[in-house]
Amino acid sequence: ETGVTQSPTHLIKTRGQQVTLRCSSQSGHNTVSWYQQALGQGPQFIFQYYREEENGRGNFPPRFSGLQFPNYSSELNVNALELDDSALYLCASSLAGAATGGYTFGSGTRLTVV
């Protein structure tokens, strides 16, 4: 059973640029969530996708957008990057309706905006 894989592992971008982060869900999982974790903080919910539709969104501006594909993989896109967007971006997958609601997290993409 494979876990959640994210790419790239590290990324450096310039303020104002756009970035796309990718996530492959754990085998059998149909729900994907994205979280932003600033240094020394707990992860913050960005949004969740289920059956290729956004299924909940946190307090993030519209320049944060996402996609989920038929194979349940997902992308997080961030436009007009700001310095405060520097963080670890985590993808988490789960199976909707499962008895246990815990998520499986990937190792994250560390984004640095300069």
Partner 1 sequence: QKEVEQDPGPLSVPEGAIVSLNCTYSNSAFQYFMWYRQYSRKGPELLMYTYSSGNKEDGRFTAQVDKSSKYISLFIRDSQPSDSATYLCAMSGMRGGKLIFGQGTELSVKP
Summarize as ranges the residues that interact with partner 1 (CB under 8 A). 4, 31, 33, 35, 40-45, 48, 56, 58, 90, 92, 94, 96-98, 100-108
Q: Which one, 14 or 42, has the nearer CB to partner 1?
A: 42
Residue type, 40: G
Q: Which one, 12 or 96, has the nearer CB to partner 1?
A: 96
Name the residue with tokens 């944060």.
64
Please check whether residue 58 is in contact with residue 64, taking contact to mean a CB–CB distance below 8 angstroms: no
Q: How far is the CB of 105 from partner 1 (least distance, A)?
A: 4
Q: How far is the CB of 62 from partner 1 (least distance, A)?
A: 18
Token pair for 1 = 């059973």
Residue 74's CB is within 10 A of a number of other CB atoms, namely: 26
Alpha carbons 85 and 111: distance in angstroms, whole number: 8
Q: Which one, 70 or 101, has the nearer CB to partner 1?
A: 101
